[in-house]
Amino acid sequence: MLSWKKLSYDRKVKLRGYVKIRSMITVPKLFPSERQKLFDHFENRLQTAHNLNRKSVSFQASKAEPVYRWFKYKEGFSSALVRHYLKEYAPNPGKLLDPFAGAGTSLFAGKELGWETHGIELLPVGSFAVRAREALSEIEPRTLQQTTPTSSASYFNHLKITKDAFPDSNESSLNRYLAYCSKIVDENIQTVLLFAAFTILEEISYTRKDGQYLRWDHRSKRTLSGKPFDKGRIYSFEEAIRNKLNQFLEDTLPAHSLLPFEDSFKSLNGKGRINLVTGTCLEQLPRYESNQYDFVITSPPYCNRYDYTRTYALELAFLGLDDEAVRKLRQEMLSCTVENKDKLTQMETLYSDAGQPQSFRTILTVYEQSDAMSEVNIILEKLKNLDLLNNKNIARMVKNYFLEMCFVIYELTRVTKPGGYCVMVNDNVRYGGEEIPADLILSGFAQTFGYSIEKIFVLPRGKGNSSQQMGSFGRTETRKCVYLWRKK
């Protein structure tokens, strides 16, 4: 039951370069807070995981490991994390699903342990990385040693936001290399050579991936505002591509089979093929049969405003997407940016066409009956109306993010076998000083749909709030967690 309380704020809050006084702001106050009640409900499931750190739930732990280090997919978790949970909770291999497959870490790590792995991935960046790694497993690695780019001409088709991203000499060399690759008849060899260039785009450019956008070096042709940024060394195309191809050889040639990670996998990719579907899991999961997966392990995009279509703009341009295709892709992604529009009508149509209108109503009801979610939505809407959020669309983004995740969790519960597990990596977030406990809210959805909340493993060190919020609300940490759910 909602009640209201008038809260007085005497301190000054810095917002958008000027100072506002927050005084006598009316915000919803629940007695006790619904988020606190949800915390009390799950408190005995929260467990500090001293064996986990921020590196283990990110790409960083895999960057020195053969095969996994080829492409810096920063949003991915580590292969060691996947192996840990599979060995700990499901020692007998079965069928594994990752609905946000990214560059395929969970799929390959699972396959190395004998699992039949299935994934769904919308971003072409991840799908291409998976396809390239499989292509390399099907060719003789020494073939790469005979590659010699010719002087043919071709062109990197830029997006508006990638124009002038490369030094002229690097772009010229890249174009010659692309032309050479286009003439290769063997599809697997062509894919691997293209992937080598794909993985070095940042190294040879004036850009660096920085959170939700590309950061530009002061040496570029662009007119830049703010403090000049120097990304450090910009590699020549020739040196970068040579290093990458040598890395492929080092990780795959038999002479290097006694690497330190040999005990973690029997061969480059394990047995069988990766089963990867390209598309959004919001549309794909409702088509899957019920009770077929023994284990789900995934990390959805966080509710943190990161726009992967901008972060990976160079890679998307490399793969041939134009500006219109990128805009369409951005809207298809889970609502984790302020530009995402509501997908509710789309989801209603999807479930209706599939003959599952009752499932749609069930999911929507569970979302609407989450008091903690309602509390978050009401407060953020209030802060938006008071101009106390740094972007007016944050309230909409948060609302839609959790609504879409409610659909995803319903489907994951449905396709998981009874007794099967779901492991999910995610971060809590904070907007306008208000903490949004993704771990508790998503676990609440999962419990309602039929998962037992076994553990919520909390990393010893959380994530600090942004510098902008820190100036307004002080230094506070939000939880970084790995959820362990089991279907009843």
Number of domains in the chain: 1
User: Is position 483 within any domain?
Assistant: no
Reading the block at residue 36, the tokens are 């606190």
Give CA torsion, residues 77, 83, 85, 86, to 10 deg.
130
pLDDT tens for each residue of 191-230: 999 999 999 999 999 999 987 788 999 999 999 888 999 9
Q: What is the pLDDT of residue 11?
A: 31
Q: Is 276's pLDDT higher than 90?
A: yes
Picking from 32-36, 43-47, 164-168, which range would have the lowest pLDDT averaged per residue?
32-36
Q: Give the mean pLDDT of the chain.
A: 85
Confidence of residue 21 (pLDDT cuts 50, 70, 90): very low
Q: Is 366's pLDDT higher than 60?
A: yes
User: Is position 260 within any domain?
Assistant: yes
User: Is position 247 within any domain?
Assistant: yes
Confidence of residue 136 (pLDDT cuts 50, 70, 90): confident
3-state secondary structure 124-173: HHHHHHHHHHHHHHCCCHHHHHHCCCCCCCCCCCCCHHHCCCCCHHHHHH
Residue 197 · residue 174 · CB < 8 Å? yes
User: Is position 122 within any domain?
Assistant: yes
d(CA 355, CA 347): 12
- Which helix (H) or strand (E) segment holds residue 26: the answer is strand 25-28
Residue 402 · residue 303 · CB < 8 Å? yes
User: Is position 311 within any domain?
Assistant: no
Tell me which residue range forms the domain holding 133: 78-278+292-298
Give CA torsion, residues 229, 216, 56, 108, to 10 deg.
-150
**The pTM is what?**
0.87
Q: Between 7 and 345, where is the model more confident? A: 345
d(CA 132, CA 299): 22
User: Is position 6 within any domain?
Assistant: no
Q: Omega into 99 within 30° of 0, i.e. cis?
A: no
User: Is position 352 within any domain?
Assistant: no
Q: What is the pLDDT of residue 30?
A: 46
Q: What is the pLDDT of residue 462?
A: 57
User: Is position 23 within any domain?
Assistant: no
Percent of the chain clearing pLDDT 90 (strictly above): 70
Q: Is 488's pLDDT higher than 60?
A: yes
